[in-house]
Structure 1
Amino acid sequence: MKRSTHHMPNTPSTDDWRARAACRSEDPELFFPKGEVGWKTNVDKAKKVCRRCPVHRECLQLALDNGLDDGVFGGLSDKERRVLIRRRTNNAA
């Protein structure tokens, strides 16, 4: 099995919000779906984990603040985050 090269920036300490993330016990590959076939199904599975996560807002903010443009973070896919960023930019203009 191929190991993922994807990871959240920095290693969380025990007092870090990332230590409480629901995805900590999941395969990281789940959050970085590849290819067109089954992409939506895999994204939906990742989002299901995010929906039960107590720190999904912090995760989403981390992705937005750091320009993470691949994978599911905070319950949003990379495509959904790009739409959110465009909307925020347009509203600020």
Structure 2
Amino acid sequence: MFNSRTRLITLNTSNSPLGKVYIASICKKYNVICIFDEVYEWITSDKNKKHIRIATLPNIWQKTLTNGSTGKTFSSTGFKLGWTIGSEHLIRSC
């Protein structure tokens, strides 16, 4: 899946924290940008477990764009407002 030709990967929130650590390490290894859709970050099957944003893992901020949305995140159907956050360098290069 990842090789020297891979430039970008797009993922959503439904994976485990360990999965995010693994994805982050592969993105760093192959110099791949990760677009992470985190619109469901507050919806977890276990209320005692905290959501971990991939962009907060060590040394991955410069390679991550994180998407959010009010419609899905806050269950405000019809309210079309979304955002993307990331490093200034990465945002400007898009």
| TM-score normalised according to structure 1 size | 0.30
More helix by share: 1
More strand by share: 2
